[in-house]
Chains A and B, each alone.
Chain A
Amino acid sequence: MSTVTSVEKSVHASVWQGSKKLVRVRRAIALGWLHVAEARLRNMLKWWVAISVVGLGNPVLYLFSVGIGIGALVNANGGSGQLGGVSYLTFLAPALLSSAAVVAFQDETSFPVLEGFLWNKIFFAMNATPITGRSIVGGVLAAAFVRALFTVVLYEGVLLIFGAITTAVLVPMFFSAMFAGLAFGSGMLAAASFVKEDEGFFAVVGRFVVAPMMLFSGTFYPLESMPIYLQWVGWISPLWHATDLGRTLSYGHPQQLWVIISHWVYLALWVFVGIPIANRKIAKRLAA
C-alpha cells in the first residue's frame, strides 16, 4: 500500500462520523457565554503587550504628573482642607481607579462589537453554532470584566507603591471601580450594538463621552466645587457615582446613607438597562 493511499484512508475514516450525540446541546447553550468569553480572551491575549503597557503606564504617568505634581501644589496651598483632610493623592486614587476600569470596559465592549458585526463578522460565525445573541452579550461582558480586573489589580498595586491607598481598602475600592466599569460597559455595549458604520464612532465616544466624563465627574476636584449648572454632568456619569462611593469606602469621605444607596442603585440601573437593550439589538441584527 502506498503512503498516499494510507493517508487518504485515514482522512476518510476520521473527519466525519456523523455522531448525533457529539454536541451536548443543553450544556452548549447554557455555557455559551463562557465559550464566547474564552474566544474573546484568546483574541485579547494577542494584544497582551499593549494591554499591559497601558495598564501599568497609565497609573504611573497619572500618579507622577497629576497626583504628585499637581498634588504638591494643592497640598502646599491648604487644599487638604477642601478635600476632607486627606492628601490630594488619596483623594485622586478612587477616581483614577474607577476611570481605569471604565476605560478597560469601554475598549472591550466597543471594539469587539464592531469587529463582530462589521470587520470580521465573527458574531455571525458564532451565531451559526448554538451561540445566541444573549451568549454573545454575556461573553463580551465577561471578557471585559477579566480585562478590567487585570487593569484594576495592576492599578491598585501602583497606588499602594505610591502610598495613595492602604491594603485595608484594596477590596472595597476594587468593587466600586469594577462596578463603575460594568455599569459603563453595559451602556457602551448597548450603544455599540446600534453602530452600523465604524467611521467616527470611536472619535465621538472618546471626545464627547469619555473625556467630558473624566473632566466633569469630580475626578480631579470635588464635584461640589463646580458651578451648579455643570454638576449634572457628574450626576449622570457612572464615573462620579463610583468615585464618590470609592472615596467613602477608601478614606471615609462623609456621605449620607441615601446618597450611598443611590450610587449603587444608579450604577445597577446602567447594568439592568444596558444589558437587555444589547441583548435585544444584537439578537435582532444577527437574525436580519
Chain B
Amino acid sequence: MTSLEDKNHMIVARGLTKAYGNFVAVDGIDFEVRKGEAFGLLGPNGAGKSTTMKMIASVSKRTGGQLTILGLDPDKSGPEIRAHLGVVPQLDNLDRELKVHENLYTYGRFFGLSRKFLKAKVEELLEFAQLTDKRESKTEELSGGMKRRLTIARGLVNEPEILMLDEPTTGLDPQARHILWDRLFRLKEQGVTLVITTHYMDEAEQLCDRLIVMDKGKIMAEGSPADLIKRFASKEVLEVRFGSSKNFEAAEMISHIGHRTEVLPDRILIYSENGEADLQAILAMGLEPITSLVRRSSLEDVFLRLTGRTLIE
C-alpha cells in the first residue's frame, strides 16, 4: 500500500467515503494520483465522481476513510490546500456582471495575488484561452465553449499544482471540445497534474494517463485506457444490427462467434480478435445483418463489461 506521505503522490485516498444520511455516494474507494499525470474518473451520472472531486477540492468533508492532498488533510487544511488547486466545476460559475478580464482578475485576488502580478497574468491567460479579443466583453455574451475556456483559464490564475476538471466538455460542440483538449494537453506537457471526471470515453482515452472506472460509489477497475481495454475488452468489436425485434433471436444463433456477445436493444456487440473474419462467418451462416461495423474496442466496452450498462443512458 502506498504511504499517505509519499512525495510523488499529489493525492492519496484510502477507504474514502461520503454518505448523505443513508445514501452512500462514495463507498470506501482507494486511489492515488501521481505528480504530473492526467488522472481520470470515468463513470455514468450518479457514480460518485463529482462527490469525489468535491472532497479532493477540499470543500466537502469526507464521512469516512483517509484523504491527503499535497500531503495535507483537507479537513484540517482546506484553505491551504485550495491555495494550490485549480478548480473547473461542472457548471460555469463565472460572475456574469463582470467583463471577461475582470473575472480573471477578481478570482486571482481571492488567492491574495498582487494587482501587479495579475495585470500580466490576466493577459497571458486570455491568450491561452484564445479570448484576448473578448477581453472587454461581458461574460454572459460569450458562447458555451468560450465560457468553458474562461473557466479553465480562471482555474490557472494561481499556477496550481493540481488542476481539477469536472466534466470539462459536457455540452460543447465537437470543435470546441477539440480546442479544449488541445489546451489541456499543453498544460499536461508543462507538468500540471490533471484530475478529470468525464462520462465520455473518447475524452478519457484522449486525456488520461490512468483512470478509475466508477459505478455506484465504488471503483470497478483501475489502469491506463489501453490497459483497461486489454484486460476487459477484446482487440476489436463487431457491431451488427438485425432490427430490434430480431436481435435477440440472431444473438442466440451467433453466440459461438467471437469471445463474447453483448445484446443491446438496438444492436449486437461481438467481442472479437478479428471482426472482419467473424462478420464473414455470420454471412456464411446465411444471416444478413441490416448494418455491420468493425471497430477498435473502447472504454465504453470496458464499462459495459464491468457494469452491464452503457455510460450514457
Q: Which residues of B contact A254 (CB under 8 A)?
A: none
Q: Which residues of A contact B110 (CB under 8 A)?
A: 28, 32, 35-36, 39, 126, 129-131
The docked-state distance in angstroms from the alpha carbon of A128 to that of B57 is 7
* Interface: A107 (CB within 8 A): no
Residue count of chain A within 8 Å CB distance of chain B? 43
Q: Which residues of A contact B159 (CB under 8 A)?
A: 16-19, 22
Q: Which residues of A contact B112 (CB under 8 A)?
A: 23-24, 27-28, 31-32, 35, 130
- 5 nearest A-B pairs in the assembled complex, by CB-CB distance: A28-B112, A128-B87, A129-B110, A130-B79, A121-B93
* Interface: B95 (CB within 8 A): yes
Q: Which residues of B contact A16 (CB under 8 A)?
A: 156, 159, 187, 190-192
B192 x A125 contact (CB < 8 A): no
Within 88-125 of B, Cβ neighbours of A (below 8 Å) are at: 89, 91, 93-98, 102, 106-107, 109-113, 124-125
Q: Which residues of A contact B107 (CB under 8 A)?
A: 125, 129
Within 151-206 of B, Cβ neighbours of A (below 8 Å) are at: 154, 156, 158-159, 161, 186-187, 189-192
Residue count of chain B within 8 Å CB distance of chain A? 43
The one of A11, A32, A119 in contact with B128, judged by C-beta atoms closer than 8 angstroms, is A11
The one of A31, A35, A128, A131 in contact with B89, judged by C-beta atoms closer than 8 angstroms, is A128
Q: Mark B69-85, 1 if CB is under 8 A from A, else 0.
A: 00000000011101111
The winner among B85, B106, B189 for most chain A CB atoms within 10 A is B106
Q: Which residues of A contact B87 (CB under 8 A)?
A: 128
Q: Which residue of B lies closest to A287 (CB)?
A: B60
What is the interface of chain B, defined by CB distance below 8 A to chain A? Answer: 57, 59-61, 78-80, 82-85, 87, 89, 91, 93-98, 102, 106-107, 109-113, 124-125, 127-128, 154, 156, 158-159, 161, 186-187, 189-192
14 pairs across A/B with beta carbons < 8 Å? Answer: A11-B127, A15-B156, A18-B159, A18-B192, A24-B112, A32-B79, A120-B97, A124-B89, A127-B59, A129-B111, A131-B79, A131-B110, A132-B79, A287-B59
Interface contacts beyond A28-B79, A122-B95, A129-B107: sample of 11 additional A-B pairs, CB < 8 Å, sorted by A: A10-B127, A11-B186, A22-B113, A25-B79, A28-B112, A35-B112, A122-B93, A125-B93, A127-B59, A129-B110, A286-B59
The docked-state distance in angstroms from the alpha carbon of A272 to that of B172 is 47
The docked-state distance in angstroms from the alpha carbon of A29 to that of B78 is 11
Assuming the contacts A12-B189, A20-B161, A130-B111, asked whether A120 and B93 have C-beta atoms less than 8 A apart, the reply is yes
For the A-B complex, the count of residue pairs with Cβ-Cβ distances under 8 Å equals 128
B113 x A23 contact (CB < 8 A): yes
The one of A14, A32, A127 in contact with B124, judged by C-beta atoms closer than 8 angstroms, is A14
Q: Mark A24-53, 1 if CB is under 8 A from B, else 0.
A: 110111011001101100110010000000
